[in-house]
Amino acid sequence: MSIATPKSALIVAHGQPSDPQPPEIRLAALARQVATHLEGWELRSATIAAPGRLEKEVAALPPGSALFPMFMADGWFVGRVLPKRLGDARVEILPPLGFDPDLPALAAGLVRTHLASASWPEAGSTLLLAAHGSARGPRAAQSARAFADQLSTLMPGLAIVTGFVEEAPFVQDAARGLGPRAVCLPYFALEGDHCRKDIPEALEKAGFQGETLPPLGETGAIPALIARALERSRAQPG
């Protein structure tokens, strides 16, 4: 007799080492929102930055549960830190948020809605994708550039440039001279100091004349997107 795959999941984000509690609260609220789209599921959450929290939540999951990385890339934290912290835990690590197949269309819809509200046609407008980047390796930047390429396919009339917080081309340089018909979309899973402080400061120094959207992972359609990813992970073949 086969044992059914458990409908339990843990949503994991990086968090904020200097002040772990606020991101923990935000992530728990996100988990509750995801749960409203799933029947019969147990949803938990943990940030890597909160001491011992990840291990505690993983220990409470039944074997075979899903772990959803609230990250935009499969770089250092998803590829190395997270597996090391999990040890021998029997959980299925799903592709991170930034790799979800529905995310480019969701982002394109957000940008189109904003352009329409401002009466800006795609042609002649610019999207600045403000991403994290990383000094530890190329995967974070590669993920952002691949996402920008997908957006270009969906919105061929829109000029798209990419800037990073932690590597060149930096956000400040990428934002310079874009003109008034520009939109900045932070390519981040959750709002943190980079979105609240670093990106706005970089845009101000660049003389950015456009408008800034909320971080992509904070948009209203994200809980349903995560729920679909979890449901796909439990789908049985045949």
Q: How confident is the model at residue 134 (pLDDT cuts 50, 70, 90)?
A: confident
Query: Which strand ranges, in their side-by-side order, compose the sheet holding 159-164?
Result: 159-164, 126-131, 182-186, 211-212
pLDDT value of residue 195? 93
212: tokens are 């800034």
pLDDT value of residue 2? 40
Q: What is the DSSP letter of 213?
A: P
- Checking if the pLDDT of 235 tops 90, the result is no
- Checking if the pLDDT of 238 tops 50, the result is no
pLDDT value of residue 105? 98
Q: How confident is the model at residue 130 (pLDDT cuts 50, 70, 90)?
A: very high
Q: Quick one: what percent of the chain has pLDDT higher than 90?
A: 84
- Checking if the pLDDT of 115 tops 70, the result is yes
Higher per-residue pLDDT: 236 or 35:
35
Write out the DSSP string of 143-164: HHHHHHHHHHHH-TTSEEEEEE
pLDDT value of residue 1? 33
| Mean pLDDT score, 15-39 | 94
CA distances, 206 to each of 1, 42, 65, 89 (Å): 63, 45, 45, 46
Minimum mean pLDDT among 27-36, 49-58, 130-139, 149-158: which range? 130-139
Tens digit of each residue's pLDDT (9 = 90 or more) over 64-109: 999 999 999 988 788 888 989 998 999 999 999 999 999 999 999 9
pLDDT value of residue 236? 55
What domains appear along the chain, each with residue ranges and CATH number? 8-99+221-234 (3.40.50.1400), 103-218 (3.40.50.1400)
pLDDT value of residue 6? 86
